[in-house]
Every structure is written in structure tokens, then in C-alpha cells.
Amino acid sequence: MSLLDAARAVRENAYVPYSRFKVGAAIRSSSGQIYVGCNVENVAYPEGTCAEAGAIAAMVASGETELIEVCVIADSPHPVTPCGGCRQKLAEFGRGDVPVRLATVDGPETLMTIAELLPGAFDQTHMERA
């Protein structure tokens, strides 16, 4: 199964009773395994979970910590980029050159990298002292 097919399939499982805006994400880890996530809303609105965060959580729960490819799909007129928090999460587990495929259910796509999504990312080097 391709990353896009995995993201498209999991998108159907999204729990979105409030926005009705389903998002699916799939990531490939350095082992080649695909992990998926979908957005999960909550009536206490800020307590929801993004699709990208769900896929990353599944990867980490399986014992892996490096992603090498990302795909996000939504039903919108143009590809939807990850939110700011998810951009930082992707940067935590993937290098800047990791490809991020952004797709719509109707076909339009955009290809970016994590570094393009989050230039100047905060990372572990900022935690080091000279």
C-alpha cells in the first residue's frame, strides 16, 4: 500500500462530528513501516488530536523514532499543510529534507520538505550550552 493510499483509507476513520473536516496522515518510518493517524475532535475543542500527531504517536508507541516520509490528505480545494504544532512534531522525528506530500481527495497535490514547512525549526541543538 502506498503512503497516499494509507492516508486516504485512515481519513475515513476520522472522528469529526463538529467540523466534518476529515484529515488522514501516513508516515513511513526508517524501518519502512507505515503508521497512520486521523484527526479526532472533542467537544472541548482544543482537546482534539491532529492526524499527523496520531500517526507520530503510533510510530513512537511501536518503538520507532525516525520518520522518512509523510503524506497528509484532506477534502479541500487545495492541499492542507500541517498546523504549527504538527510541523514542530514532524521536525522532532524527521530531518529537514524529509518529503511531505500534501494531497486532496480530488487530486491536487503539493510536495514540500519538513524544512520548507518549518524554516528555522527549534531543535535539540538549541538546548545545548557552549
Q: Is 6 annotated as a binding residue?
A: no
71 marked as binding residue? no
Is residue 18 a known part of a binding site? no
Active site residues: 52
CB 23 within 8 A of CB 40: no
Question: In degrees rounded to 5, what are phi and psi of residue 11?
Answer: -55, -35
User: Is 105 annotated as belonging to a binding site?
Assistant: no
Is 86 known as a binding-site position? Answer: yes
Is residue 50 part of an annotated ligand binding site? yes
Cβ(75)–Cβ(22) below 8 Å: yes
Which residues does the annotation place in the binding site for Zn(2+)? 50, 83, 86
Which residues does the annotation place in the binding site for substrate? 39-45
Which residues does the annotation place in the binding site? 39-45, 50, 83, 86
